[in-house]
Amino acid sequence: MKHLIIGTAGHIDHGKTTLIHALTGRNTDRLKEEQKRGISIELGFTYFDLPDERRAGIIDVPGHEKFIRHMLAGVGGMDLVMLVVAADEGVMPQTKEHLDILSLLDMKQGVIVITKSSLVETDWLELIKEEIRQATSDTFLESSPIIAVDSITGEGIPALLELLTEAYDRIETRDQTAPCRIPIDRVFTITGFGTVVTGTLLEGTAKVEETLEIFPEETAARIRNIQVHGNTVKEAYAGQRVAINLSGLKKDQIKRGSFLAQPGSMTDTMMVDCRIKMLKNASRPLKQRDRIRLYHGTSEILARVVILEKEQAEPGESALVQFRLEERAAFRKEDKLIVRFYSPMQTLGGALVIDPNPEKHKALRQDVIDELQAKESGGPEVYLEQQILRFSKELPDTGALCKHTGYSSDQLITFLQQLEDEGSIYSIGSMAYVHQDYYHQIVEDIVNKLSRYHKDNPLRRGMPKEELKSRVFGDIRSKTVDRWLEQLEIEEIIKADGKLVALAEFKIKINPIQQNIMNQIESLYLEKPFAPPRLEEIAGIIKVNEKEVRQVIELMLGQPLIRINQEMVFHQNSINTAKDIILKHFENHSDISPADFRDLLNTSRKFAVALLEYFDQEKLTKRNGDSRILSRKS
């Protein structure tokens, strides 16, 4: 179902609030000061039913130039605008500035309403219409209907309602599948309920009991209750004005200007890359490092501008820029911003977000310009590919990519599949996604490190897996890395042997000298099967260079030599013989003591106990007091 937000715009005292009262029967000026002074200071909100019983939300914005910030906080949520011009005054400065702002925000639909029509003659009214046509030429309102009304007598109100009903059908439905997002325009407390925030649900849906997140604070918030136009509902949809009762948060933990959004769908930043479009009538050019005011959603953010492709942006020009923010904020790609000079506070243009969480750029760098132009001109999958390229070192999963791009899970999966089919990215077992450039870089790094390792250690079966992971991936989580190594094994780039990793084609080559050393070492261990020498003694016993002996021993460890603890190594045949002896003993005995085992092996207690402890680890035996009993049948 389509939901519509109608807003007002126009100069102060041109009758916007009175017009809404005529349409709805309700006064949107809720502050005592507003009612006393007869001017709107804050945003006003209400609703009304169209003749066909469809309900539309209303946002009334202040017209005074001092309250332009409040106007900007409301205009971003509008689907349709009523540009209000008083018949007795015509187009005024704030009429023009509001029209500029609406155009910069790419507003598509509108109706021009001339109020106070009973105060002027028909000829004057025609002159006002002509003035309005000139002011709105080359804008989205140039072909919009103009209707004259008198909000006091009600003249023209029924016809205006018909125009709004017709416009309702032309409005595009907001995206209800996108991640939920609400710019917060009010925060207050209701006794017995707690903290309440209000705003326009720009995208997605919001449900009772759902947990959302406050951005840029990244604070979790559970929805206790939702109201739409005064009615309690279980779910709200994009295009509706909502009041949301949040559980577990105090009023001072939330501020106007923050976003209430789906967890992980945004990320806080101190920089944002944009394309700025300067107004033709901007009072002066935008220069490097100018301090400006950004208006985004319901927030005002101070920033410095870095113009990336030229020294300054003249009125009427556009330019790629990076805004360096003075406080943390959160954006999504293709968000629209209004940009004003810091002082005097004049609107200078609008900006479209290209990258909501960029790296810091230097001005006039062609590679930066090329990258941003690609992000700007390409579709969502192009932007996703660039974000994956940027964050590949972190091995991002779908949750991280949703946060980096602002895409919903469903959107992301579709785009990921497209990129994977094209070969632009690689999936690491659906646990992470990396760009093809990074993938090949890592594979090359692994191959190079293993090649050097094999060259330096020709008799080792491979590099310890944990060492390889640390040298290539640093502190990246191990499960994804393990899955990547498994993938490379399937691709026959590497092979794994227990805790060791080698290149798939690697084979140990033993020369005659090494073979002779190996034979001598094996003979030593077989000559004294249950009283073997320590590894450090071997080089001296066989009188061979210690380095060469160490390399051969490393090859033999695991097979045929078995390390049973930190100090002792036995030949596999000796271990097998000891196992046969102990099993034969258990054929006629229920247990065996270390002394019994020592005597059976004709060795010392030290070696007998070490072998018993090894058999305990292998689950052949288990301790029973000072003795051992059979743990399982062999």
- How far apart CA 394 and CA 423 sit, in angstroms, is 20
> What is the predicted pLDDT for the residue at 196?
93
Of 276, 335, 338, 271, nearest in space to 303 by CA: 271
| Contacting residues for 17 by C-beta, under 8 A, at least 6 apart | 27, 28, 29, 40, 44, 60
| Contacting residues for 356 by C-beta, under 8 A, at least 6 apart | 266, 267, 269, 272, 330, 331, 332, 333, 335, 406
- How far apart CA 478 and CA 476 sit, in angstroms, is 6
Using CA atoms, how far residue 442 sits from 400, 434, 439, 470, in Å, is 20, 10, 5, 13
Contact by Cβ (8 Å): 292, 305: yes
> What is the predicted pLDDT for the residue at 63?
45
> What is the predicted pLDDT for the residue at 263?
92
What's the gap between Cα 331 and its chain centre?
11
> What is the predicted pLDDT for the residue at 30?
47
Mean pLDDT per block of 10 residues along the chain (634 residues) reads: 82 84 71 42 70 78 58 76 92 89 88 92 93 94 94 92 87 87 91 89 94 93 92 92 91 91 92 96 95 93 96 95 97 93 92 94 93 89 92 93 88 93 93 95 97 89 92 86 94 91 91 86 91 88 82 84 91 95 93 94 94 93 91 63
Q: Do domains 378-508 and 512-630 have the same CATH topology?
A: yes
Using DSSP bridges, classify how beta strands 146-148 and 109-115 pair: parallel, antiparallel or unpaired.
Answer: parallel
Of 563, 556, 550, nearest in space to 614 by CA: 563
Specify the DSSP class assigned to residue 138. Answer: T
Find the helix packing angle between 436-456 and 478-490, rounded to 10°.
80
Query: Residue 271's beta-bridge partner residues?
Result: 324
Tokens 């759902």 locate to: 210
Residue 333, SS3 per DSSP = coil
Class of domain 378-508: mainly alpha
- How far apart CA 151 and CA 15 sit, in angstroms, is 8
202-213: buried (b, 16+ CB within 10 Å) or exposed (e) per residue?
A: bbbbbebebebb
Contact by Cβ (8 Å): 468, 446: yes
Contact by Cβ (8 Å): 489, 509: no
**CATH number of this structure's domain 4-170:** 3.40.50.300
> What is the predicted pLDDT for the residue at 551?
80
Considering the segment(s) 512-630 as one domain, its CATH architecture is Orthogonal Bundle (1.10)
User: How crowded is residue 54: how many other Cβ atoms within 10 Å of its Cβ?
Assistant: 15
| Contacting residues for 628 by C-beta, under 8 A, at least 6 apart | 591, 592, 593, 597, 612, 615, 616, 621, 622
- Sign for the CA dihedral angle at 467, 472, 478, 482 comes to negative
Specify the DSSP class assigned to residue 172. Answer: P
- How far apart CA 304 and CA 326 sit, in angstroms, is 8
Using CA atoms, how far residue 464 sits from 171, 177, 461, 555, 569, in Å, is 62, 47, 9, 14, 20
Per residue, what are the HEC states of 216-234?
CCCEEEEEEEEEECCEEEC
> What is the predicted pLDDT for the residue at 12?
78
Looking at domain 268-373, what is its CATH homologous superfamily?
A: Translation factors (2.40.30.10)
User: What tokens were used for 620?
Assistant: 């052949």
Of 416, 443, 446, nearest in space to 432 by CA: 416
Domain boundaries, the chain: 4-170, 181-261, 268-373, 378-508, 512-630
Query: Residue 10's beta-bridge partner residues?
Result: 84
**CATH number of this structure's domain 181-261:** 2.40.30.10
Residue 362, SS3 per DSSP = coil
Tokens 């009262």 locate to: 21
CA angle, 44 as apex, 147 and 160 as ends, to 5°? 15
> What is the predicted pLDDT for the residue at 62?
64
